[in-house]
Amino acid sequence: MRPSDVERVTVCEAVGRYTEMIRAKAATGALAASTAEVYIRDVHTFAELAGGEGVLDDLDGADVDEVLLRFAHKPDGRRRDGGPPAGAGPRQSGSSQARFLRSLSAFFRYAAVAGWVQLNPMEAVTLRPKVRGGLRAERRALTAEQADGLVGAARGLAEAAPDPARRRDQRTELRDALIVLLLAAVGPRVSELTRADVEDFYVNGGVRYWRIFGKGGRTRDVPLPGAVARVLEVYLAEGRRALDRGREPKALLLSWRGRRLARGDVQGVIDRVLERVDPRARRGVTPHGLRHTTATHLLAAATDMDAVRRVLGHSDLSTLGRYRDELPGELEAAMRVHPLLGRDDPG
C-alpha cells in the first residue's frame, strides 16, 4: 500500500468507526456482547491514553509501548482503592495488561485492512505479556556481533559493482545499503526515514548533517558518521539518479518505480541485506529493532545520555529506558575499565 492510499484519520475517528463495527457484529451475533464490551472499552481507553486528536498512522511501536505502560499504571476501576498506590508498580493486573494488548492487536489488524495505517505498529511493540508480572520488554537490540554483521553487509553492498544483468532502474543496492546504515547509525523512526527529502541533508563545517523532521513538529540535526556520509554521496550521485523518473523530485528514497519508498517496504530492504550476513551472526530485526540497537550501543559506549536522547529525538530522558537493552558481557567490560581503578592488568 502506497502512502497516498492511507486514510489519515485521527485516533478518535478510527476508534469511533471501529466501535460501530464491533457493535454491528454484536447485534448480528457474530461477536459475544461481553467480548464486544471489552473491545470497545479498551479502544476508548487507548484513545484517551494515546491522544485522540493525533493521526493514527503517525503512531509507531514506541507510541504503543508508551500507551501500554500508561495503562499498566492506570488505576483499576474495578477496585475501590484503584489498586496499588502510584509509584508502587503496575496498578493493573497482569491478565488485564495482556487483555489490553490483545484488544489493541485486534484494533490495529482491522485498521490495517481498513486502510487507516500503512504499517501495523503492533509489529514493532517491544512489550510482551508474561505469566506473572504483566508486560515485560522483549529484547530487540542486536548484539555487537550481529550489528557488525549487518552493517558490514550493507557497506559491502554499497561497494559492490552493479549487477549488469539487472536493468538500471532495478539496481537498488546503494539505496538498500544507505537505508540500513542510516537506521543502524542514527536510529530514526521508519516514518522519519521515508519522509526524508534530499534537501534535508546538508554540509556544515565539512560535516554532513541530516535534518530530521520528527513527531510533534520537532526537528533535530544529526551529524552522520563519515562512512554513512560517503555512501549517501554515492547514492545521490549514482543510485538515486538511476531510480529517478521525475515523479518525486524531493524524496531521498525511491522505489524502482520512481515513487517515494513506502514505510512497509523498509522491512523488505533489511531482510535482503540480512541475507548477505554470515548465518552465525545473523538475526532478524525490524526498523524499530535497529532504533533499539542504536540507543543500546551508544549508551553502552558511555555516550552522554542527553546526546543519545537528541539523536533519537526524544523529549524526555526517561524514555531512553525503553530503548536500553542489556548486552552480553557489558557489566564485565564496564568493570574492567572502572574509572576509579583504571584498566585492569590483562595478566
Among the listed residues 106, 95, 68, the one whose alpha carbon sits nearest the alpha carbon of residue 322: 68
Measured distance CA(138)–CA(285) in Å, rounded:
12
Which residue in the block uniquely carries the three cell numbers 522483549? 138
Going by C-beta distance under 8 Å and a sequence separation of 6 or more, which residues neighbour residue 20?
none
What whole-number distance in Å separates Cα of residue 333 and Cα of residue 285? 25
Active site residue 202: no
Cα–Cα–Cα angle for 194, 67, 108, rounded to 5 degrees? 60
**What Å distances lie between residue 65 and 101, 186, 323, CA to CA?**
10, 21, 11
**Helix (H) or strand (E) segment spanning residue 208:** strand 207-213
Q: Is 338 a catalytic residue?
A: no
Contact 90, 97 (CB under 8 A): yes
Beta carbons of 171 and 242 less than 8 angstroms apart: yes
Q: Which distant-in-sequence residues (6+ apart) come within 8 Å of 88 by Cβ?
A: none
Which of 140, 195, 259, 314 is an active site residue? 314
Angle, alpha carbons 56-60-65 (nearest 5°): 110
Distance of CA 177 to the CA centre of its chain: 18
Annotated catalytic residue, options 74, 291, 297, 322: 291
Contacts of 140 (CB under 8 A, 6+ apart): 126, 285, 286, 288, 289, 292, 293, 325
For the chain, what is the largest distance between any 2 Cα atoms, rounded to a whole number of angstroms? 76
The catalytically annotated residue of 175, 240, 288, 292 is 288
> What's the rounded Cα separation, in Å, for the pair 266 and 179?
8
Instruction: Select which of 175, 189, 195, 259 is catalytic.
Output: 189
The residue from 70, 99, 208, 215 that is catalytic is 215
Is 130 in the active site? no
Active site residue 44: no
Q: CB–CB of 282/146 below 8 Å?
A: yes
Annotation says 189 is catalytic: yes
Q: Which are the catalytic amino acids? A: 189, 215, 288, 291, 314, 323
